[in-house]
Amino acid sequence: MLTMAASTELRVDDLPSDPLLHILSYLSFRDLVHCSYVSRRLNDLSNHNALWKSLCCKHWLLTDADRLRSGLSWYNLFQQYYASLGRYIQHYPVLKRAWEQLKSFLQQRCPRMITSLKEGVSEVQLNEIEAQIGCRLPDDYRCSYRIHNGQKLVIPGLMGSMSLSNHYRSEVLLDMETAAGGFHLKKGMRRCLPLTFCFHTGLSQYMALETTEGRRLGESFYPCPDQTAQDPAAIDMFITGSSFSEWFTTYIHNVVTGEYPIIRDQIFRYVHDKSCVATTGDITVSVSTSFLPELSSVHPPHFFFTYRIRIEMSSSASPDAACQLDSRYWKITTSDGNVEEVQGPGVVGEFPIMTPGKVHEYASCTTFSTPSEYMEGHYTFHRLANKEEVFQVAIPRFHMVCPPYKEPAVRTQKASASYTSRFDGHDDDNEYCDRDSDDFGDLRGINMAALEGAWCPRHI
């Protein structure tokens, strides 16, 4: 019996290659290397080109053309990339794919931005930057800068623009050297590295390189000085991401999926809720919104939003349906339950005429003392063929919510135990405006005197 059992024992070396290769194809590259030490047979199979081609595609996004250009086997090509980028293998495919998607999109929609991208930096350069600032850089940040070293200091910025009649902002993705020059050690902003910069407003997004002063390692944010604090180092923060990878890939996703509109070769960070569309007869109204941190503050509570409205008449409408907008009506509800109604002639000083297929878009702004609110209302039109025929067109309800924010531990007269995320309402009265705004005209520098008018009166 023992002799018979021994003779029927199944050995790996006796198995055909195809099922073994199929089993090995489920292994990670590390496990595949470990298998190569088990036996000569597994060593031979573990070097099979098909296995390493799959791993090269998965981790380094390589193609057959890449391999042909290299003149290497898939196994050796994997080794080459791993020697250079192995510490980033967790982040590389995600960030490389995001960069490639972005470049493909820009080539079609914003070609002039492509030329502003800088080639990636070396591992040596990254190490030198770390030595310069005396702080470690997160691996996902390092990985992205191995692919592209941000962009040249030009306008428009890669990280989005915003324009109102007296205010323009465009954020550049900083290159490594410039970012290191803006590294902070001062109280309130310790160990913070700038990610973006706007020439016109001085606005920057920062990334925390250490868990300190209430910030988590890798967290990205817009700093906002606490205007009510006695300590000038008291900094509130509008949070924009939990890590560099999450911050960057979320932004790229919004760009390449069309979430952000492209206006005059620039990316505008307007967010469109697909439910914010209302059709009345032949006219459809849709709304997108954006939060402006550079014109906002947590203390005192002042949250500034801009919204962009698209009014479109169906191309199948009858020529007799042509009409002109006379007035607007708004109902504004803040998160503390306060309701206000505002009405006035036209929109941003205009009285657009709508004809079949015509589209009219305009931008305006509003400011509140609560971090979230919603608006809804209607336009009043009259028919061109019969001025006595007056009708209303619904404006869909749209919500405006500021990003999550953190407050410093020390307040003006009080001290709290630590930083806390806040998303509650305030009892202050809200402020509202529906200000005139050009339709993204010529780019201009920020006009601080004009911006005083952006802190809008209660009624207009």
Omega cis (within 30) before 232 = no
Give me the tens of pLDDT residue by residue for the chain, a chain 460 residues long: 444 445 566 676 777 888 888 988 999 999 999 988 888 888 888 889 999 999 999 999 999 999 999 999 999 999 999 999 999 999 999 999 999 999 999 999 999 899 999 999 999 999 999 999 999 999 999 999 999 999 999 999 999 999 987 899 999 999 999 999 999 999 999 999 999 999 999 999 999 999 999 899 999 999 999 988 888 889 999 999 999 999 999 999 999 999 999 998 999 999 988 889 999 999 999 999 999 999 999 999 999 999 999 999 999 999 999 999 999 999 999 999 899 999 999 999 999 999 999 999 999 999 999 999 999 999 999 999 999 999 999 999 999 999 999 987 655 444 333 333 433 333 333 333 443 333 333 322 323 222 222 333 222 2
CA separation for the pair 231, 379 (Å, rounded): 47
Domain count, the chain: 3
Q: Which two tokens stand for residue 240?
A: 């924009």
What is the full DSSP assignment across 84-101?
A: HHGGGTTTHHHHHHHHHH
Counting Cα atoms < 13 Å in the Cβ hemisphere of 304 gives 20
The verdict on 393 and 314 lying in the same domain is: yes
**Which of 87, 117, 137 lies at the terminal end of a domain, its last residue?**
87
d(C-alpha 67, C-alpha 391), whole Å? 65
* Phi, psi values for residue 416, rounded to 5°: -105, 160
Tokens of 371: 């971090």
Looking at the fold, whether 100 and 78 belong to one and the same domain comes out as no
If asked whether residues 101 and 163 sit together in one domain, one would say: yes
Tell me, yes or no, whether 78 and 106 share the same domain.
no
- Domain end call among 64, 87, 110: 87
CATH assignment of the domain containing 17: 1.20.1280.50
Q: In CATH, what number is assigned to the domain containing residue 131?
A: 3.40.1580.10
Same domain assignment for residues 235 and 293: no
Residues 299, 235: Cα–Cα separation, whole Å: 10
d(C-alpha 351, C-alpha 357), whole Å: 17
The pLDDT, as a whole number, for residue 10 is 64
Whether a cis peptide bond, with omega within 30° of 0, leads into 300 is yes
Expressed as residue numbers, the domain containing 284 is 270-454
Of 249, 283, 318, the last residue of a domain is: 249
**Is 96 found in the same domain as 79?**
no
Same domain, 78 and 107: no
262 domain-assigned: no
Same domain, 78 and 110: no
pTM over 0.85: no
Residues 81 and 96 in one domain: no
Residue 256 belongs to some domain of the structure = no
For the domain that residue 371 is a member of, what is the CATH number? Answer: 2.60.40.1470
Domain assignment of residue 258, yes or no: no
For residue 263, tell me if it sits in a domain: no
